């Protein structure tokens, strides 16, 4: 394991090493998800217009896979938005004021 050689190193340095490794892993995971999404979209484009039974069943399978990939991407983006809100939402920042202003505009009643 990569962390087996961390004996005798301070906890701060260990945490830094773990943080760097997780950042690298996350960037690879995002890149792979993007590639998978593009590959599935290309497969759908190639299968469109075909009417044989194999192509129709393959199209159905590829669409299901793409839907799963898009759901995972949406969940990731929702988590990132929540993270941003938790970090910047309660502080007196431009982000907070923009969110409050848009909410006020959406909730207001112009006329009856």
78 touches 86 (CB < 8 A): no
Q: Which two tokens stand for residue 40?
A: 């599935």
Q: Residue 40 burial by CB count (10 A; 0-12/13-18/19+): exposed, middle or buried?
A: buried
Q: Where are the domains of the chain?
A: 9-107
Q: Which two tokens stand for residue 103?
A: 């909410």
pLDDT tens profile 54-106: 989 999 999 999 999 999 988 888 888 777 666 665 566 677 778 888 888 78
- pLDDT category at 35 given cuts 50, 70, 90 is very high
What global pTM score does this model have?
0.57
Nearest-5° angle of CA 47, CA 69, CA 23?
135
Q: How far is the C-alpha of 105 from the C-alpha of 87, rounded, in Å?
A: 23
């Amino acid at each position: 394991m990569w962390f087996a050689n961390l004996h005798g190193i301070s906890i701060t340095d260990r945490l830094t090493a773990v943080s760097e490794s997780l950042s690298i892993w996350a960037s690879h995971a995002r890149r792979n998800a993007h590639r998978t999404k593009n590959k599935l979209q290309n497969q759908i484009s190639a299968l469109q217009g075909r009417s044989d039974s194999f192509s129709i069943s393959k199209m159905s399978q590829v669409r299901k896979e793409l839907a799963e990939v898009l759901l995972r991407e949406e969940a990731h983006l929702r988590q990132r938005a929540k993270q941003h809100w938790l970090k910047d939402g309660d502080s007196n920042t431009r982000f907070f004021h923009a969110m409050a202003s848009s909410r006020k505009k959406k909730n207001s009643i112009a006329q009856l």
